Chain A
Amino acid sequence: MDFTIRAATLEDCKDISRMILELAEYEKVSDQIKITQRDLEQDGFSKNPFFHGIIAEVPEHLKSRDGHTKVGYSLYFYTYSSWKGRAVYMEDLYVMPEFRGKSIGKALMAKVSQLGLAAGCTQLNFTVLDWNKSSLDFYRKQGCWDVTSDLGYHCMRCEGDALEHLAQGDL
């Protein structure tokens, strides 16, 4: 299939927002989205962006049933490992269902890897839900390994009231 992979621009935020919602629906958590298209524009395309985006686009004659030519995306940002230094974290990777099986996902991930390596990163990290078998299989095929299973590291979160209390020094 004919597609291009390129860096996301401000104009892409509408489609990124659409696809974020599609991905959240797939992960069965779409009611948790608080981020708007405007937030994405501000947070991703100002002087100090909090994330970077890649878009997969098809030509007009191959557009989706709903008329979209932007059919996949990845959001990533740079992190730091106190053991190994610069790392890249892939926050989202998504291809619309009707465009799957054409190596678009692989191409998006390859682009993130390329950019990460160019920036001096030695590892790519991301999280996957334990029930998402097709994604788990896809990633294992690319040579990834499960840090949670193999080393017992659990992802933790402190938010909302708990975060506020922590900031005030309450126990």
Chain B
Amino acid sequence: MANFILRKAEPKDVSDILRLIKELAKFEEMEDQVILTEKDLLEDGFGDHPFYHCIVAEVPKQHQSADGHVIVGFAMYYFTYDPWIGKLLYLEDFYVMKEYRGFGIGSEILKKLSETAVRTRCSSMHFIVAEWNKPSIDFYKRRGASDLSLEEGWRLFKIDKQNLLKMTSEE
């Protein structure tokens, strides 16, 4: 089975996008962290100023998944900025359903993303990977990715809503 297409996500895809987000989160053992809803995805991805862009991989009906799905992979990305080198493409999520791996879908998605990055004059594509996720790290390193946390010592920090509110209310 090598029959699939990649296309830009449309509003009707939000249900499948959320399903795949949850599948990927489950793989990262973080399923309970997903609080995003279909409504959020619709508002945030398909309004006047989208917060993200999405590509989906679709198979023909005769190759639908065991659960009856034809959207079998996706990538969610957005544009960021580095004041030293300019525009960057940030890959937020990238996932292909287990039963559809090994057919080149992941590679094609990554190729499409890279084409987008080059076409929009981004100097680089950034993303994060969990250090225990060896197959993904190997997949990316094979394609020339470098680990900035290891090589340059960058650590990703986060501050959540509670502490953001605290910061804004302090004088």
**A interface list, Cβ under 8 A from B:** 16, 20, 24, 29, 32-35, 39-40, 43-44, 48, 50-51, 75, 77-86, 89, 91-92, 106, 109-110, 113-114, 116-117, 121-131, 136, 139, 142-149, 151-169, 171
For the complex, give the distance between the alpha carbons of A128 and B159 in Å.
13
How many Å from the CB of B20 to the closest CB on chain A?
A: 9
Q: Is the CB of B126 within 8 A of A116?
A: no
Q: Is the CB of B148 within 8 A of A154?
A: yes
- Residues of A within 8 Å of B170, CB to CB, are 106, 110
> In the complex, how many residue pairs between chain A and chain B have their CB atoms under 8 Å apart?
250
Q: Is the CB of A124 within 8 A of B92?
A: no
Interface bits B22-36 vs A (CB < 8 Å: 1, else 0): 001100001001111
Other A-B pairs, 11, CB within 8 Å; known A29-B84, A83-B34: A24-B84, A83-B36, A85-B44, A106-B167, A145-B159, A147-B156, A155-B148, A156-B145, A158-B140, A158-B145, A167-B117
The residue on A at minimum CB distance from B168 is A114
For the complex, give the distance between the alpha carbons of A139 and B159 in Å.
9
Q: Is the CB of B157 within 8 A of A147?
A: yes
The residue on A at minimum CB distance from B76 is A82
